[in-house]
Amino acid sequence: MDKIAVIGTGAMGSRVAQVLSAGYEAFVRNRTRARRKALLALGAQAASSPPTRTAAMP
């Protein structure tokens, strides 16, 4: 499964992260934890910091 990291879950980032339904594994990071709750409910994983997730990406 391909992986994507989305840093910022505002108007554009939240739409990008919704590709979960298209077969991607998504990691999301946002300053406001409440904004990423809906994406976590869809199956995204929370990234503790941007460098943490991007460093683990192939």
Sign of CA pseudo-dihedral 19, 5, 25, 49: negative
Residue 31 phi, psi dihedral angles, 5° rounding: -60, -40
3-55 confidence digits (pLDDT tens): 878 888 888 888 887 777 677 888 888 888 888 888 888 888 888 776 555 55
pTM above 0.75, yes or no: no
Distances (CA, A) of 9 to 18, 30, 39: 10, 6, 9
